[in-house]
Amino acid sequence: MTLENVRKEIDLIDEKLIVLLNERMRWVQKVGEIKRETKGAIYRPEREKWIVEKMVGLSKGPLTPSAIEAIFLEIFAAARNIELPERVAYLGPEGSFTHQAAESRFGAMSEYMTLPTIRSVFEAVETGRARFGVIPIENNQEGIVYETIDLLSMADVSIAAELKISVHFTLATEAENPARIKRIYSKDIAFRQCRGFLNKYFEQHNPEEIQVESTSKAAKLAAGDPEAAAICSEIAAKLFRLPVLFHNIEDNSNNRTRFIIISKNYENQPSGNDKTTIVARLPKTDEAGSLARFLQDFRKGNINLTKIESRPYKGSEDFNFWFFMEFLGYYKDENFQKILKKHGSYIKVLGSYVRNA
């Protein structure tokens, strides 16, 4: 068989695909009509997860599960824009890892708001200027993002979903040789996470390290300067058309950041593999045993707590604390409902959502 014959077969398959995709979108339009009448949510993470898992199970190869997920996430994003276009806010700037996380769930077609602070993303969602907000909550090397959990405790929003992405840095520059680089721009955390690479490749000529507010800003500053480089994401390098000299320069290849998607008045349906986030404002936290007694109820209910962070009551003269907690399960599960009945006045449920392991 010749290459021309193979390409003709591929073209025939593509023609069938476009017919089927358009047929799918026509049914999506009907779903949108029903949801507009019932005011149902367009973004359904548990439904999307079910579809992806089903397609993975049906596949006989050579598509990998991750490839199937990537293809269907773009189909879902296109479908949501046909059902009802919804604005998504994210912590900017454009080209940041949060931008990458947002596009991984809402696709390149969605309408995005790039905002400068985590607080401004919360405000956009609370006021209805954006239907969803994407913000970082935790990095497995640097720990929790305290601003995010503090705002979750105060804001009138829910957690709609979580997602985790691997954080890979590139060294992007117009210089063809590292020896020609005199300045490196990046964010402080990126310098820390790429220190081993920098020590190895730049020990001899020691270029100036210039800290900026974001890796996207670093790529922008390095673009057009043949003596400068940026430590940035690949998406930022592409955005500013800056050639990548080295990929994956981070010291730890297991670097991952967890993001959450927030929305107002949002509730997922149970998926069978859920996680729930709550805030517990227990009374008398300065007294011995107050937290232990509360946690005993989770043990008795056979509820697996996966995270607990203590945070101070701001403005309080005493050393009192509230707690940010996560556990496996759906908030309407019987065992947690017993805890909620007992301690409901102290607990704020932030949301139950598909667990993203």
The half-sphere exposure of 344 on its side-chain side, counting CA atoms within 13 A, is: 7
For the stretch 252-262, pLDDT in tens is: 888 899 999 99
Minimum mean pLDDT among 72-76, 211-215, 257-261, 306-310: which range?
Answer: 72-76
Q: What residues does 230 pair with on adjacent strands?
A: 172, 185
Q: Give 316's pLDDT tier (boundaries 50, 70, 90).
A: low
pTM of the model: 0.76
Specify the pLDDT at position 275: 95
What does the pLDDT average to over 263-284?
90
Pairing label, strands 208-211, 183-186 = parallel
What is the pLDDT at residue 86? 76
Mind listing the pLDDT tens digit for each residue in 89-130?
A: 999 888 888 998 998 888 777 789 999 899 999 999 999 999
Which residue spans within 187-292 are E strands per DSSP?
208-211, 228-232, 244-246, 256-263, 274-280
User: Residues 130-141: what's their mean pLDDT?
Assistant: 91
Residues 300-312 have pLDDT tens digits of 999 999 999 998 8
HSE of 190, CA atoms in CB hemisphere, 13 A: 28
What is the predicted pLDDT for the residue at 338? 93
Do residues 278 and 350 touch, judged by C-beta distance below 8 A? yes
User: Residue 41: pLDDT above 70?
Assistant: no
Q: Is the per-residue pLDDT at 82 higher than 70?
A: yes
Pick from 101-115, 146-160, 164-178: least confident: 101-115
Q: Is it the case that residue 317 has pLDDT exceeding 70? A: no
Would you say 32 and 44 are in contact if contact means Cβ atoms under 8 Å apart? no
**Cβ neighbours, 10 Å, residue 187:** 21
Query: CA angle, corner 95, sides to 90 and 97, nearest 5?
Result: 65
Cα separation, 295 vs 301, whole angstroms: 10
Band of pLDDT at residue 357, cut at 50, 70 and 90? low
Residues 230 and 216: their CA atoms lie apart, in Å, by 9
Q: 227: pLDDT confidence band, cut at 50, 70 and 90? A: very high
